[in-house]
Copies of this chain bind each other. A is one copy, B any other.
Amino acid sequence: MSLIATPQSMTFEAPLPLQSGASIRGYSLSYETYGTLNADKSNAVLICHALNASHHVAGVYADQPHNTGWWDNMIGPGKSLDTDRFFVIGVNNLGSCFGSTGPMHVNPDTGRVYGADFPVVTVEDWVNAQARLLDALGIEQLAAVMGGSLGGMQALSWTLQYPERVKHAVVVASAPNLNAENIAFNEVARRAIVTDPDFHNGHFYAQGVVPKRGLRIARMIGHITYLSDDVMNEKFGRELRQAVTNNATGYKYSTQEVEFQIESYLRYQGDKFSEYFDANTYLLITRALDYFDPARAFGGDLSKALSRASCQFLLVSFSTDWRFSPARSREMVKALLDNRRDVSYAEIDAPHGHDAFLLDDARYLNVVRSYFDNMATALNEGVQA
């Protein structure tokens, strides 16, 4: 029996001040919850999502039995994050395109669709918005905040913005900021979108078009960085999609047709993505990634930046992740240890690259399971005490 999820929405009338100096009002956040909040509201776990994900973290919808949450292998009854013991909250971020207020919605101040005028949102802004949602749900303190990749950045930021509201942070396949190469890939993807003639300076909704060319390119670039070199070679190698028989090599000798399986895979991923993802959201989310840098206000000193954190940490990285390499997680571990924080760290030897954080890997899932098991035990002892 699958967990049945029910999407919910909450509207916030009061303006949310944003890091840019702008603010946004009258916005909604889509969210889902799984499991039951206990009497003292001490078992809540907030899940933060990465670029292409949403509040639909676990389970399926009653009327969509194949629409499975993006972290369903991790979260559910009896799973690593056990919804029989924890009350899990998934929330779609502001500016995203899966239900929460985003660029395709109407700006209540102007009566027009936001488009490219949607305010720039940061990881810190998302955390503030999430905190308001927790306020409304009556949750004062999280048992844990958890996320992978950009979601891990939000989890880390929670421990700095609201240290008293977080008991544990689980930060998976993440980094304390983007390096130049990460920013470079984001920039190429953004340029592909912005220079697509169908982008219309971000106001393409009114034109009845979508900058699909740009979105396809953006997604193809993304996919390359999500996978390891090794897993790409293993999955695709130099295999041809369909060898022809009129050449000894099997090549079609064409510059535009698909020759190799990897090309076919990337084109498919690009096409699929361009059908549902919003171009303005892509710009906003990659910029939030670029901007995140808690050490910035401390002259680049990550140890000083993380001194505000007071919770316990689990960090996980994956050996072949070249987007957010283990070295980036180790920077965070070191900075936390500099502050004598309680940190567990697992570096999982996984072949899949950055994508590993979403995949089934027994060692990874067991590390997270153990961490939450200990947390659950402590929670129960707290209740008995």
Most buried by B among A238, A284, A287, A291: A238
Instruction: Give the residues from 115 to 134 in chain A that come closer than 8 angstroms, CB to CB, to chain B.
Output: 116, 120, 122
* Residue A345 at the chain B interface, CB threshold 8 Å: no
In the bound complex, residues from chain B placing their C-beta under 8 Å from that of A187 are 220, 260, 262-263, 266-267
* Residue A207 at the chain B interface, CB threshold 8 Å: no
A259 to B296, CA, bound (A): 15
Tell me if A183 and B224 are in contact (CB < 8 A): no
Chain A 225-252 interface mask (CB, 8 Å, partner B; 1/0): 0010100110111100000001111010
A263 to B21, CA, bound (A): 23
A296 to B358, CA, bound (A): 35
Question: Could you say which of A45-53, A157-165, A172-180 contacts chain B?
Answer: A172-180
Tell me if A291 and B188 are in contact (CB < 8 A): no
* Residue A290 at the chain B interface, CB threshold 8 Å: yes
* Residue A39 at the chain B interface, CB threshold 8 Å: no
* Residue A181 at the chain B interface, CB threshold 8 Å: yes
In the bound complex, residues from chain B placing their C-beta under 8 Å from that of A263 are 183-184, 187
Tell me if B233 and A183 are in contact (CB < 8 A): no
* Residue A256 at the chain B interface, CB threshold 8 Å: yes
Tell me the minimal C-beta distance from A8 to chain B in angstroms.
Answer: 29
Tell me if B232 and A181 are in contact (CB < 8 A): yes
The prevalent SS among residues of A at the interface is helix
Tell me if A184 and B224 are in contact (CB < 8 A): yes
Task: List 4 extra interface pairs beyond A180-B232, A184-B223, A190-B256, CB under 8 A.
Answer: A180-B237, A187-B263, A191-B220, A238-B296
11 contacts between A and B (CB under 8 A): A120-B254, A179-B229, A180-B233, A180-B236, A184-B224, A184-B262, A187-B267, A191-B267, A192-B192, A254-B287, A255-B287
Tell me if A179 and B260 are in contact (CB < 8 A): no
* Residue A351 at the chain B interface, CB threshold 8 Å: no
Tell me if B177 and A246 are in contact (CB < 8 A): no
Query: CB within 8 A of A238: which of B179, B188, B197, B223?
Result: B179
Tell me if B224 and A188 are in contact (CB < 8 A): yes
Instruction: Give the residues from 181 to 206 in chain A that come closer than 8 angstroms, CB to CB, to chain B.
Output: 181, 183-185, 187-188, 190-192, 194-197
Q: Which B residue's beta carbon lies closest to that of A217?
A: B192
Tell me the minimal C-beta distance from A351 to chain B in angstroms.
Answer: 13
* Residue A270 at the chain B interface, CB threshold 8 Å: yes
A255 to B188, CA, bound (A): 12
Tell me if B184 and A253 are in contact (CB < 8 A): no
Tell me if B183 and A238 are in contact (CB < 8 A): yes
* Residue A110 at the chain B interface, CB threshold 8 Å: no
Tell me if A260 and B183 are in contact (CB < 8 A): yes
A187 to B238, CA, bound (A): 13
* Residue A297 at the chain B interface, CB threshold 8 Å: yes
In the bound complex, residues from chain B placing their C-beta under 8 Å from that of A188 are 217, 220-221, 224, 266
In the bound complex, residues from chain B placing their C-beta under 8 Å from that of A283 are 255-256
Q: Which B residue's beta carbon lies closest to that of A262?
A: B180
Q: Which B residue's beta carbon lies closest to that of A291?
A: B251
Tell me if B247 and A181 are in contact (CB < 8 A): no
* Residue A293 at the chain B interface, CB threshold 8 Å: yes
In the bound complex, residues from chain B placing their C-beta under 8 Å from that of A195 are 213, 216-217
Most buried by B among A120, A259, A263, A291: A263
Q: Which B residue's beta carbon lies closest to that of A124?
A: B249
* Residue A374 at the chain B interface, CB threshold 8 Å: no
Tell me if B21 and A247 are in contact (CB < 8 A): yes
* Residue A19 at the chain B interface, CB threshold 8 Å: yes
* Residue A20 at the chain B interface, CB threshold 8 Å: yes
A287 to B258, CA, bound (A): 11
